[in-house]
Amino acid sequence: MNPSLPIEKDLFSPLQLGATQLKNRIVMAPLTRCRADDNNVPTDMNRVYYQQRATAGLIITEGTQISPQGAGYPNTPGIYNQQQVNAWRQITDSVHAQGGHIFLQLWHVGRVSYPGIQPNDEPSLAPSAIKADGAYVQPRALENSEISDIIDEYKHAAENALAAGFDGVEVHAANGYLIDQFLRDGSNKRTDLYGGSYANRSRFLLKVLQVVTAVWGSDRVGIRLSPINKFNSMSDSNPEALFSYVVEQLTPLKLAYLHMVEGQIHDENFAESSSTFKPSSLRDLYQGTYMANLGYSKESANHAIKTGTAELVSFGDLFISNPDLPERFLHNTALNTTDLETRYGGTEKGYIDYPLLG
Ligand code: PHB
């Protein structure tokens, strides 16, 4: 073999991801499954689910609220109290016992909630009092002083995640939840230091990253963005300029990775093509590890890694129905199809009973 020939990389090539050594580049994307208990504490069924998927190079947990106000759906797990920390510890121990790695996704839904979910039936919180379409109510615009309280909640949640034995955390800044509501001008009409210019709209995100990286070290913190995803009534007047600015601010932070939702979620066509701006192009602006997401197959993911358009690829739906996805990719085995009826909430059915190979 000619030693000067580069070794071709694929999904099965190991990767040093910040401080974590991954055995492959197949990442389990964060997936809301609404199966924590009624107190938002993870259960043993949740532990089995994650343990079954520990052959992924990295698991990113479902969105996990940093505070009771951060929840938008029933039975999503939290990371703000000791019971939750203890339950997550069982999960991280089980994943580690299988040789896997797991990051916790830190989540605050902002306006994507409703009084029935919020403590004392209060309105949800958002940068501006602009309602998301659907069954939501008009949120209350956050006071300046309340913004620092939420940043403290991120810090506390990050400390709890450390105590629960995770390998790192992902800051959820995508899909129309609180941080994304600050970033995009369809949901942020503030006239103070948190609204208006790109720098102002990015301020909340950058402050969150500051406190979270102070707890974890930047090489154990990832971030997720979704520049053109309209889910949760999101819009921006110039997503290319906004997210180019954001990504330029991220490079010097030397995070573990940038996780990009490259299109429109809950859409069969993952409609990146409907926008002239391609979020995947932000990869060229970002100096660091890039994780691509949305609608990838084994073939398109391998192509992305071989051509260097991504270092890692995350898979969502495929990991719901194929707990042993890396093995199936390796052996080119048929994939189980995902039952959407059992996606959110419910029992073991459609959660931990998808068949394994063999
Ligand atoms: C969803 O429940 O559909 C959902 C939750 C969190 C996300 C995206 C989608 O980031």
pLDDT, tens digit, for every residue of 112-163? 998 899 999 999 999 999 999 998 999 999 999 999 999 999 999 999 999 9
Among candidate residues 49, 177, 198, 245, the one labeled active-site is 177
* Ligand 1 in reach of 63 Cβ (< 6 A): yes
Ligand 1: residue whose CA is nearest its atom 3: 32
| CA nearest to 9, candidates 312, 295, 256 | 312
Protein residue with its CA nearest to atom 2 in ligand 1: 32
Q: Is 198 a catalytic residue?
A: no
Q: Looking at the domain 15-342, which fold is it?
A: TIM Barrel (3.20.20)
- Rounded Cα distance between 225 and 41, Å, is 26
CA–centroid distance, 286 to ligand 1, in Å, is 25
319: CB partners within 8 A, 6+ apart: 28, 29, 31, 53, 56, 325
pLDDT of 7 over the 90 cut = no
Closest CA to ligand 1's atom 1: 32
Ligand 1 centroid distance, CA of 9 (Å): 31
**Model confidence over 17-52: pLDDT tens digits?**
999 999 999 999 999 999 999 999 999 999 999 999
* pLDDT for residue 5: 65
Establish whether residue 32 lines the binding site of ligand 1, counting it when its CB lies within 6 angstroms of any ligand atom: yes
User: pLDDT tens digit string along 264-293?
Assistant: 999 765 554 556 899 999 999 999 999 999
Out of 55-64, 169-178, 274-283, pick the least confident. Answer: 274-283
Q: 28, 31, 32, 270: which to mutate for ligand 1, most atoms within 8 A of CB?
A: 32
In this prediction the pTM is 0.97
d(CA 88, CA 160) in angstroms, rounded, equals 10
Structure tokens at 26: 């197949």
| 62 CA: nearest ligand 1 atom | 6
User: What is the spatial distance between Cα 224 and Cα 212, in angstroms, rounded to a whole number?
Assistant: 14
How far apart (Å, rounded) are the C-alpha atoms in residues 334 and 47? 26
Distance CA 69, CA 109 (A): 8
